[in-house]
Every structure is written in C-alpha cells, then in structure tokens.
Amino acid sequence: MGEVPKENDTGKHLDINFDDEPSALHPAEKILATLTTVSYRAGELQSYLDNVCEALLELMGTGLSAITLYRYGTKKVLATKPESDCLSCGSMDVHGELSTHVLNTNAILTVENALNNTQYGSPPEGFCSYMGVPLRSPGGEVVGTLCYFDKKARQYTDREEQTAELFAERIAIALDNYDLFQKLGEYSNSLEVQVQERSEQLLKAHEELAHKEKLAALGEFASHITHEIRNPLTTIRLTLEYIMKNPERNPEKRLELGIGEVSRLERLLNELLLYAKPIEVNAGPLELAGFCRDFISTFDSIAKERRQTLKLLADTSVTVMADRDKLTQVVLNLVRNACEAADPEDTITLRLGKTDQVGRVSIHNFGNTIPEDKLSIITEPFVSCKANGSGLGLAIVESLQKSQGGNVSFKSSVSDGTVVEIDLPLAPL
C-alpha cells in the first residue's frame, strides 16, 4: 500500500509501513479517512473526539482511551471510551502523573506495567499498561494528551505509537480549528453587537438631526410668515388709526387700501393651506393637446387683459398619466406668471413634446427673466421674483407635480426668455 509520512517528537517525518501487516492496519487507514471527514467547525467537536477514542480502541484493543485538555493551568477530560466514572469524578487526577509527564516532556510515554513501574504514577483501577501521546497545536504548543490504558501488561510497537501520533495530530488540529471557530463566532457576535449599537446611535443622531432641521425649517417658515403678515397688518392698522383721528374726512381711499391688504392676507392663507395639506391624486390617461386647447379657451382672458396671446404648438400626440384638476392648477399658475413677466402684446407659447419616458408641456415667454441666483431655488417656499409675491406659488406647483409622479424645471436668460418644462409620465400603451 505504500508509506504514510508522520512527524515524530523532533518534528521529522515518520514512516508508517502498511505492508508489514496489511490485514492489521487496513482498519486504521479506513478510520483515519473517516475521521478527516468529520466537521468540527460546525460545533461537532465532541462527536469528533468520541470517534477518535473509539477508533483508537478498535486499533489497540479492549482497553480505555481518553483525550485530555490542558489549558490555563487546569486539566479537563474531553472524551473517554468506554465512558469512565473514575475519569469523570477526577479520583485519579486525570491519569495523574502519567499524563503530566507526557505534557511536561512533550514526548510519547509508554509503560509496559504501570503497577510494577510507578515512576510515572499509577493507572486507573483495573488497568495495567499505558501509552500517552502529546497533542501539539500547529504552533507547537502542547495542549493535551491522547492516552490508552490496557488491562494487561503489554509492549507498544513503533507502528502503534506512530498510528496514535496520527490520531493525536488530528485531534490537536481539530482543537485548534475549533478554538478559531469559537473565537470567530465571538468576534462575529461582538461585531453584530457593535453594528447594532452603532446603528442605534446613527438612527438616534439622524432623528435628532431631522428634529433640528424641522425646527430650523419651522423657524424660517415662521419668519417668512411673520414678514408677509406684518406688512398688510401695518397698513390696516394705519388705516384704522387715520379714520379714528380724522372722522370728518373722506376715508374711502384708505379703506380700499385696507380691504386690499385683507384680500392679500386671505390669498396668503389660502396658499398656505394648499401648500400644507396632503394632496389627493386621481391620475389617469390624459391627452395633452386636447387638454391645452381646453385650457386656452377657458383661461385666455388672463392674457387678453394684457393684450397678450396664448398659442399652442402641438406637433405630436402625447398622452400622459395625470390628474386633470391638478395639472390645470399647475398650468394656470405658470401661465399667469408668464403673462405677468411678459410685455403687453407678447405671445406666451405652450409647446408639446415627449421623450421615451415622459410627456412634456413647455411654457415659453419673453420679458422679465428669473435672476440667476434664484433659478436653482425658485421652487422653495417664500422665494419670489415679484415685489408683492408670497413665494408659495411655485412651491405649490412643484408639490402638485411630484404628487403626480412628474417634475418641473426652469430655464431663463435674457436672449432666450423663460421656459418652464412640465414633465409627466407617459400613459401605458
């Protein structure tokens, strides 16, 4: 069958010749092959050690086999076959001085008759001879012993010692790997705990940051609202004070001014309610050309008041998914802004288009443009280009667009005018 190399006490390879007694060593080869397939990484170390003890007994005879672990100054029996009360109760101090000698010398110890030769200690009751093999970790540390006791006095052959060494080597590797597996498990658990703790810390920090951002936004919101309300209230107060001080004079013009400021406050409050309340969307297929024609016929008076014209350019048929009422609010707000920015007798153009994913209504006008420093923030609340604007109109437009799954974007320059693009998802075919 050939030779199997094995290291001896000095670290050199030993040769176990299976051809001397092939019938006697065939079981050893079979058992070794079986033991190497046992998984001690999956928490099966005890079963693995029990199998080693049973295999040693099968090779050596009907004696007692035991595996002992030495660690942190203590000794512990890990496995015995057959199970032994004397080993489990510790009455013999885990093989006593016999195993201690193996541990201290880092060498195999065989005693033909331990009853007569007590130099290394006494065997368990009922046993006579002893063989002990050190368990050496891959790092060279002796971590325990593999022992065999026989009930009769006997000599142990080199082949038996070498076979026992093979078992001891596999036990030591199993113990080392099992320790690594346990440490990795502990490290993994520790990492999980740390990740959980860190996640909780990050979540708490995120919540605190979100709370601070809400407070900051609320403070900014309150500041803008205070500013918007204070001006008309001041006008109303001055009007009332004038009437009280001058009851004989004609107050009509001042009353008209006060009523106008009241109307302004009403518009502001209505816009605030519209911006703040949840938006309910009832989207469905909507053909944009027909929608724009209906819009122009309904709201062309906005342009006619300034002697302006609303014009539709529809070169293609586009059907989108949209809420008709919400889209009407969006286009009405943007068309009104375009008319206010354009000069009298100008034309405000509505052009239709589409890409692979969206349908588009582009509203174009010349006239007053959006300042470059406001172009990127024009849809934020209370940002306005108008002297008396609330700054909520375009914020409402963006909110309405997002509620429909759409988007709104702005381009503005003196040479090209202002273009507002309203994008909405295309309807399924």
**DSSP states along 324-348:** HHHHHHHHHHHHHHHHHHSPTT-EE
Name, in order, each residue with C-beta under 8 angstroms of 106's C-beta and a sequence gap of 6 or more. 9, 134, 136, 142
What pLDDT is recorded for position 175?
86
110 forms bridges with which residues in the sheet? 131
> Among 75, 72, 41, which residue's Cα sits nearest to residue 144?
75
Q: What's the average model confidence in pLDDT over 277-291?
A: 88
pLDDT digits (tens, 9 = 90+) for 94-118: 445 777 888 888 899 999 998 888 8
What pLDDT is recorded for position 239?
78
Query: Helix, strand, or coil here: 403?
Result: helix
Contact assessment for residue 179 and residue 137, using Cβ atoms and an 8 Å cutoff:
no
Centre a 10 Å sphere on the Cβ of residue 31 and count the other Cβ atoms it contains. Answer: 20
pLDDT digits (tens, 9 = 90+) for 218-231: 666 666 667 667 77
Contact assessment for residue 177 and residue 83, using Cβ atoms and an 8 Å cutoff:
no
320 forms bridges with which residues in the sheet? 286, 426
CA distance 100 to 61: 24
pLDDT digits (tens, 9 = 90+) for 180-217: 887 888 888 888 889 999 999 999 888 888 777 766 76
CA distance 307 to 345: 5
Quick one: tokens of 186? 């502990």
CA distance 40 to 173: 10
Residue 426: pLDDT band (50, 70, 90) is very high
CA distance 234 to 240: 10
Q: Which domains does the chain have, with CATH numbers?
A: 3-185 (3.30.450.40), 200-276 (1.10.287), 284-425 (3.30.565.10)
CA distance 43 to 38: 11
pLDDT digits (tens, 9 = 90+) for 8-55: 444 433 444 444 444 444 555 655 565 555 445 555 788 888 888 888
Q: Decide which of 345 and 40 is more confident.
A: 345
